[in-house]
Amino acid sequence: MEINPVIIFGASGLGKAALDIFKSQDILVFCFLDADDELHGAEIGEVTVMGSPSNDGFLKHIGKKCDAFVAIEDHETRQRIVKMLKERRKVQPVNAIHKDTSISESAFIGYGNFINAGARLGYDVKISDHCIIHSNAVLEHDAQLEELVTVGSGAIVGAGAKVGKGALIGSGAIIAPNVIIGEGAQIGPGSLVMMEVKPNTTVFGMPAKEI
């Protein structure tokens, strides 16, 4: 099956990591699009930043000759570009999944997710849309992530744990099995979370406490 080239929205750190992921899968990246005018014309890994995310000259190819991936960490900006792609191009962003990942055949992965090298997704893991899973993160069996969740490098989401929309799990944090993380919650790096975390709260420590 022929694989379309990809246009990456966002040429920052996450965009560079996405480029590395697509290269690992031998997928051609056509160009970057970024709102920062100072980046226009720059080359990143031999791929040029060709213009802004609203450039119709490039958008018209998405869904026909190219796919799209949104490599922007800010939730509101990412949602706005995803909405634009749905409305103007009638497409969802593709997933960026590094070849050096371990993903159970029973896992469910939605649209527009970033999954970097060394990540491991266990049996019946469910990931919604537009999540960011950094290197060497582990999602044990039956863990669930709602949309726009970020899981830091080396973090562990225990079996059966549920992470709400837009939550942030810091690098090296451990979420105990069956724990519920509320929408918009933030878990500090290296924290051990043994109990439910309420929506829009920040916890830190071993064991983690609200701060």
Active site residues: 141
Is the bond leading into 207 cis (omega within 30 degrees of zero)? yes
The vertex-81 CA angle with 95 and 129, nearest 5°, equals 35
Integer Cα distance of 53 and 135 in angstroms: 27
Query: Which residues, 6 or more positions from 119, have their beta carbon under 8 angstroms from its beta carbon?
Result: 98, 101, 102, 103, 133, 134, 135, 136, 137, 138, 139
The Cβ-side half-sphere exposure at 23, using a 13 Å CA radius, reads 11
Distance of CA 95 to the CA centre of its chain: 8
Strands of the 126-127 sheet, one edge to the other: 108-109, 126-127, 144-145, 162-163, 180-181
CB atoms within 10 A of CB 100: 12
Cβ burial, residue 97 (10 Å; 0-12/13-18/19+): buried
